[in-house]
Amino acid sequence: MRILSCVSRGYYGQSNTVEPMYIAFTEPLRALGHVVDHFDHFLTNKQFGPAVTAERLVARVREGGYDAVLYLTSCQNAAEIGESVREAGRYAPTIAWNSDDDFAWERQTSLMAPHFTFMFTTYRHVYEQNRERHPNLRLSQWGCFDGFGDFDKAKDLGFTFAGQTYGDRVRSSRYLVKHAGLLVYGSMSGRVNTPSFLYWPGIRKVTFRFPSIYGAPLHFEQINAIWNRSRISYTPMEASVSASILQVKSRAFEQGLSGTLMICRQSPGLDEYYEPGREFVPFDDLDDCIEKVRHYLRHEGERARIARAYHDRTRAEHMWTNRFRKMFEDVGLSTKDVG
């Protein structure tokens, strides 16, 4: 098939990092034999505004001869989607991929649904509760890209977190650094070890100029390199808007080939994809997390056995190539010729 992938290339719009979903929405599709073009709707909107973005999207789809348009919605609101996507759908099926639907469905993504040919959510309860009202709604899940994981890499780091440190992650990471030796890497990681006043709005304008203070963003390849070296990976499941909302985060799948042990709070729905105690280690609270981290750091055989099961389940069922095959089947595109 010929596919247009509408996703931001820069991580949160930053030109010096690559958005993991850009990789997910291009390379696995090419590995399946599809021809993939890219349209950065986020950057175009930022530079030229919604009207120009809409005009360019429609022209691209109309003239491109595409079999499908994949569209990541997380950086846009319903007003910015508008009629342009509906118009583009006259020339090729438009397939929306949504995240954070557990708290954004009613106010955001449900309003986009009528504009797309198909819309995918990663939350089973959102799907079950809304599929009758929105017949174009489908269910999928995050996946793992086969390109960065190195299961056999020497595990010379103990307990780590690599990624953005925001919201409740600041509090939990501070506690785990103090009591379990957590090593924190990535954007805003400095918040874990530096005084909080450095992040007051007025002072942040100055501290942001010094990555050594606040922690610089990491390329996705660098994050994977840390997972590859880590015996245990702290895997927060709390939503950015509230620590009381537990999600199934993309990193639960992305780090699956690295050989690390995933430790996380038991998020609703996660056991649909991985078996607790055999393929990952759940914890009840931070003190329980600390106790379990100390146990598995002392018992390498047990840690390695769970990490191997985590790897094997990811490889067998949770690769992005698995996801796209199922997605295309669900929308009736599986019989299309490849290439």
Same-domain check for residues 310 and 180 = yes
Three-state DSSP at 70 gives strand
132: burial class by Cβ within 10 Å (0-12, 13-18, 19+)? exposed
Same-domain check for residues 14 and 72 = yes
Same-domain check for residues 101 and 186 = no
Same-domain check for residues 14 and 52 = yes
Number of domains within the chain: 2
Encoded amino acid at 26, one letter:
T
Nearest to residue 262, comparing CAs of 249, 272, 244? 249
Same-domain check for residues 169 and 182 = yes
Tokens of 91: 């020339």
**Domain with 139 in it: what CATH number?**
3.40.50.2000
Residue 151 maps to a domain = no
CB 295 within 8 A of CB 277: no
Same-domain check for residues 89 and 14 = yes
Spatial separation of the C-alpha atoms in residues 18 and 147, rounded to whole Å: 14
Same-domain check for residues 60 and 76 = yes
Same-domain check for residues 31 and 120 = yes
Residue 55 maps to a domain = yes
Residue 335 maps to a domain = no
Same-domain check for residues 29 and 103 = yes
Chain Cα centroid distance, residue 261: 18
Residue 338 maps to a domain = no
Supply the pLDDT for residue 235. 96
Same-domain check for residues 291 and 164 = yes
Spatial separation of the C-alpha atoms in residues 155 and 320, rounded to whole Å: 25
Residue 337 maps to a domain = no
Supply the pLDDT for residue 195. 58
Spatial separation of the C-alpha atoms in residues 135 and 305, rounded to whole Å: 42
Per the listing, tokens 């999928």 go with 140
CB 1 within 8 A of CB 68: yes
Residue 247 maps to a domain = yes
32: Cβ–Cβ under 8 A, 6 or more apart, which residues? 321, 324, 325, 338
Q: Taking the model in full, what pTM does it have?
A: 0.89
Three-state DSSP at 273 gives coil
Residue 149 maps to a domain = no
Domain span at residue 187 reads 157-317
Residue 93 maps to a domain = yes
Supply the pLDDT for residue 100. 79
Per residue of the chain (339 residues), what is the pLDDT tens digit? Answer: 999 999 988 765 566 677 889 999 999 999 999 999 999 988 888 888 888 888 999 999 999 999 999 999 865 555 567 788 999 999 999 999 988 788 888 888 898 899 999 999 999 999 999 999 999 999 999 999 999 999 999 999 999 999 877 778 888 999 999 999 999 997 665 666 665 655 556 655 565 555 555 566 678 899 999 999 999 999 999 887 777 888 899 999 999 999 999 999 988 889 999 999 999 999 999 999 999 999 999 999 999 999 999 999 999 999 999 999 999 999 999 654 444
Same-domain check for residues 70 and 208 = no
Same-domain check for residues 178 and 237 = yes
